[in-house]
């Protein structure tokens, strides 16, 4: 749906056009299954055959007409055609089964040297055996495909999706073959375009392909589609939420919520829309926190369907310049990170990769991580729940988005909604971020405040933030007065004194901060590059000593901010970034990591670790 607020800003004629264009999507995906990986699933991970197709030969004919829009709908690579045994002369210029294979999940760039910089289309195919059972429904689910995907099952199109970091799901119940022999074909295209989210310019690698898990989930005909089980806003003694059924028999059904360990069991009836909302006294729950990440086994059941989850309960709110977790003031000892395993280097592929990143953060003394700059894997949020790390989760509204384009807004809002849907039952997630370092201006303010409103309407129990920019005056004052700050719960900004401005590390402590808002300050970024193993003095750029001195001065400078309640320096580990072209020090990597791309800790790591030790003592008394 086109965002109503944005529609209202347009002249009437344009409104109609926009509504016509975006009001109905030809390939609407089914509403995402909550906790899809926790259902009964058939994994489609593993080896998929692929064809590199820079000319989109498998999608368009020689007149550039899309095969899947033609009358027959035939002719594209999604047909997975084979020469028939009776017609040996038949011309078919592709063959998935004789093409190379790659591991899914996994970006293509790190799996084939000739694809390191590739931007364009790759086709994937996987065959699988699944005989549909009567009375069951089947959903094919992709954790993420970067960026635009067209997905076909047994030669028929399921849909098109844009956005490289959120799940994609289609109901395939009626399209599975009765014999059980099925094949799925995916066209993935990571071409950067100005009107997309993110846009053409980012400081991370444009990893393409099917980067997260793929499976088919099986449910009964009437099933639990969505649920939220959390504490109510500002009411720590009340469990509030809903259970949403889908399918024909969804109305007037019994649904049971059971948290055996807490002695909570409630049965309720769904309304005509299949929804049951609840508000249950729950005074004796043990609260989740980083020190004690208590999770309860929660089970939901209705008719033939049942879902299990592990859920933690906590409150998060701000009061003046304090952040209160379960009513107690906290300091957020954080670190930023990308969804990348630097040791591959490539996108994190599985739980092992993700656990390694979060273990590094824990060793650093963190109680908090900023999952920049786009939605990370659902498994990451579950691990953060389990390991006791607070999370800032973000959408790729990064730098220079096409602020006045309604379709761009719609896309950003869809990504935000999917992120919130995916993370809404995770106690670890305390911040939804609507964007990073977006340049000042009226259209941008309208766009961003609409996203803030959307986030609040979807989830009023968490904090809303964005990484703001700042400006300086000649009197060495750093001003944070971006109007967007008014609409947010935290004041967060990216600040690169000692690297992009402000002179050497030793010189930056002269700066003071003038912050317009009486809100907690959680600095979203600072940092500088260091090539691990390269040594010099504190004024030698790229050396570990320079980065070390920069962290020392930054901590000193930021500590003068009265409302400072946390930070997420940039960044946990070196990561691939095409923009970073110095042949010796960068070589295609952003080297602001505290840990190198071979896993060694740089000197600055220990500066931050010591600071976090002191802050733990100050706030937690240990």
Q: Which lies closer to ligand GCB via its Cβ, residue 313 or residue 575?
A: 575
For ligand GCB, which residue of 109, 411, 436, 547 counts as binding (CB under 6 A)?
Answer: 436
Nearest to 330 by CA among 341, 322, 338: 322
Q: Which lies closer to ligand GCB via its Cβ, residue 109 or residue 321?
A: 109
Minimum separation from the CB atom of position 582 to ligand GCB (A)? 13
Minimum separation from the CB atom of position 490 to ligand GCB (A)? 16
Minimum separation from the CB atom of position 446 to ligand GCB (A)? 22
Minimum separation from the CB atom of position 428 to ligand GCB (A)? 22
Rounded to whole angstroms, how far apart are CA atoms 581 and 28? 40
Q: Which lies closer to ligand GCB via its Cβ, residue 453 or residue 504?
A: 504
Minimum separation from the CB atom of position 203 to ligand GCB (A)? 4
Please list, in sequence order, all residues whose beta carbon lies within 8 angstroms of the beta carbon of residue 213, skipping any fewer than 6 positions away.
Answer: 37, 43, 45, 105, 141, 142, 143
Q: Which lies closer to ligand GCB via its Cβ, residue 210 or residue 466?
A: 466
For ligand GCB, which residue of 203, 353, 378, 385 counts as binding (CB under 6 A)?
Answer: 203
Phi/psi of residue 508, nearest 5 degrees: -85, -10
Strand partners, 302: 305
Please list, in sequence order, all residues whose beta carbon lies within 8 angstroms of the beta carbon of residue 437, skipping any fewer than 6 positions away.
Answer: 398, 399, 467, 468, 469, 494
Query: Binders of ligand GCB among 231-290, rule CB under 6 A?
Result: none
Residue 315 in contact with residue 234, Cβ under 8 Å?
Answer: yes
Q: Which lies closer to ligand GCB via its Cβ, residue 80 or residue 491?
A: 491
Helix (H, G, I), strand (E, B) or coil at 95: coil
Phi/psi of residue 392, nearest 5 degrees: -105, 120
Q: Which lies closer to ligand GCB via its Cβ, residue 51 or residue 391?
A: 391
Cα atoms in the 13 Å half-sphere on the side-chain side of 211: 32
Minimum separation from the CB atom of position 571 to ligand GCB (A)? 7
Minimum separation from the CB atom of position 529 to ligand GCB (A)? 7
Minimum separation from the CB atom of position 568 to ligand GCB (A)? 11
Q: Check residue 410 for interaction with ligand GCB (CB under 6 A).
A: no
Per-residue HEC secondary structure of 365-423 comes to CCCEEEECCCCCCHHHHHHHHHHCCEEEEECCCECCCCCCCHHHHHHHHHHHHHHHHHH
Q: Which lies closer to ligand GCB via its Cβ, residue 565 or residue 592?
A: 592
* Tokens of residue 367, six digits: 């109680």
Q: Which lies closer to ligand GCB via its Cβ, residue 203 or residue 413?
A: 203
Helix (H, G, I), strand (E, B) or coil at 262: helix
Q: Check residue 403 for interaction with ligand GCB (CB under 6 A).
A: no
For ligand GCB, which residue of 166, 175, 554, 590 counts as binding (CB under 6 A)?
Answer: 590
For ligand GCB, which residue of 426, 592, 602, 603 counts as binding (CB under 6 A)?
Answer: 592
Q: Check residue 45 for interaction with ligand GCB (CB under 6 A).
A: no
Q: Check residue 591 for interaction with ligand GCB (CB under 6 A).
A: no
Q: Check residue 437 for interaction with ligand GCB (CB under 6 A).
A: yes
For ligand GCB, which residue of 392, 570, 611, 612 counts as binding (CB under 6 A)?
Answer: 570
Nearest to 554 by CA among 475, 504, 497, 494: 497
Rounded to whole angstroms, how far apart are CA atoms 301 and 243? 10
Phi/psi of residue 79, nearest 5 degrees: -70, -25
Residue 285 in contact with residue 277, Cβ under 8 Å?
Answer: no
Size of residue set near ligand GCB by CB under 6 A: 9
Rounded to whole angstroms, how far apart are CA atoms 417 and 411? 10
For ligand GCB, which residue of 35, 367, 377, 494 counts as binding (CB under 6 A)?
Answer: 494
Minimum separation from the CB atom of position 574 to ligand GCB (A)? 11
Minimum separation from the CB atom of position 520 to ligand GCB (A)? 20
Site string for ligand GCB, 514-543 (x = CB under 6 A): -----------x------------------
Helix, strand, coil percentages, rounded to 5, for the chain:
20, 30, 45
Cα atoms in the 13 Å half-sphere on the side-chain side of 380: 34
Can you give the binding site for ligand GCB, defined by CB under 6 A? 203, 373, 436-437, 494, 525, 570, 590, 592
């Amino acid at each position: 749906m086109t965002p109503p607020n944005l529609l209202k800003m347009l002249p009437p004629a344009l409104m109609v056009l926009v509504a016509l264009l975006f009001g109905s999507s030809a390939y609407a995906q089914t509403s995402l299954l909550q906790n899809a990986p926790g259902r009964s699933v058939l994994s489609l991970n593993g080896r998929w055959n692929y064809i590199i197709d820079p000319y989109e030969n498998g999608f368009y004919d020689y007149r550039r007409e899309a095969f899947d829009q033609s009358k027959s709908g035939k002719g594209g690579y999604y047909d997975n055609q084979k020469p028939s045994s009776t017609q040996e002369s038949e011309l078919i210029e592709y063959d998935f089964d004789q093409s190379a294979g790659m591991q899914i999940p996994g970006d293509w760039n790190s799996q084939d040297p000739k694809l390191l910089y590739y931007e364009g289309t790759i086709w994937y195919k996987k065959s699988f055996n699944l005989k549909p059972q009567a009375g069951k429904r089947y959903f094919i689910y992709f954790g993420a495909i970067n960026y635009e995907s067209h997905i076909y099952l047994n030669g028929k199109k399921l849909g098109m999706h844009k956005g490289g970091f959120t799940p994609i799901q289609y109901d395939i119940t009626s399209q599975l073959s009765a014999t059980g022999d099925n094949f799925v074909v995916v066209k993935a295209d990571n071409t950067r375009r100005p009107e997309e989210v993110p846009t053409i310019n980012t400081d991370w690698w444009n990893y393409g392909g099917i980067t997260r898990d793929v499976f088919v989930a099986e449910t009964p005909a009437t099933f639990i589609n969505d649920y939220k089980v959390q504490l109510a806003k500002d009411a720590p003694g009340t469990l509030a939420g809903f259970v949403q059924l889908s399918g024909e028999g969804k109305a007037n059904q019994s649904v049971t919520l059971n948290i055996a360990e807490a002695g909570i069991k409630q049965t309720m009836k769904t309304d005509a829309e299949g929804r049951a909302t609840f508000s249950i006294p729950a005074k004796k729950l043990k609260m989740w926190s980083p020190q004690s990440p208590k999770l309860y086994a929660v089970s939901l059941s209705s008719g033939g369907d049942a879902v299990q989850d592990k859920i933690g309960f906590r409150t998060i709110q701000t009061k003046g310049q304090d952040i209160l977790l379960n009513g107690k003031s906290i300091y957020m000892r954080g670190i930023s990170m990308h969804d990348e395993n630097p040791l591959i280097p490539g996108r994190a592929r599985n739980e092992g990769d993700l656990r390694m990143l979060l273990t590094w953060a824990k060793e650093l003394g963190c109680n908090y991580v900023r999952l920049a700059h786009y939605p990370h894997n659902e498994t990451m949020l579950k691990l953060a729940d389990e390991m006791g790390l607070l999370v800032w989760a973000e959408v790729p509204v990064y730098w220079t988005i096409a602020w006045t384009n309604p379709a761009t807004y719609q896309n950003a809002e869809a990504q935000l909604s999917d992120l919130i849907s995916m993370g809404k039952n995770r106690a670890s997630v305390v911040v939804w971020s609507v964007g990073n370092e977006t340049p000042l201006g009226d259209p941008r303010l309208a766009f961003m405040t609409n996203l803030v409103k959307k986030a609040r309407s979807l989830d009023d129990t968490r904090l809303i933030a964005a990484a703001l920019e700042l400006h300086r005056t000649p009197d060495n004052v750093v001003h944070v007065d971006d109007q967007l700050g008014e609409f947010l719960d935290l004041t967060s900004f990216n600040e690169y004194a000692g690297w992009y401005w402000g002179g050497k590390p030793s010189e930056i402590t002269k700066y003071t901060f003038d912050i317009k808002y009486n809100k907690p300050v959680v600095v979203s970024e600072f940092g500088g590059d260091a090539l691990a193993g390269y040594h010099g003095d504190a004024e030698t750029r790229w050396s570990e000593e320079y980065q070390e001195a920069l962290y020392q001065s930054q901590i000193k400078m930021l500590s003068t901010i009265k409302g400072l309640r946390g930070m997420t320096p940039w960044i946990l580990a070196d990561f691939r970034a095409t923009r970073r072209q110095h042949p010796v020090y960068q070589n295609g990597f952003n080297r602001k990591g505290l840990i190198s791309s071979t896993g060694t800790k740089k000197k600055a790591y220990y500066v931050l670790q010591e600071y976090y030790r002191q802050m733990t003592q100050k706030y937690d008394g240990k």
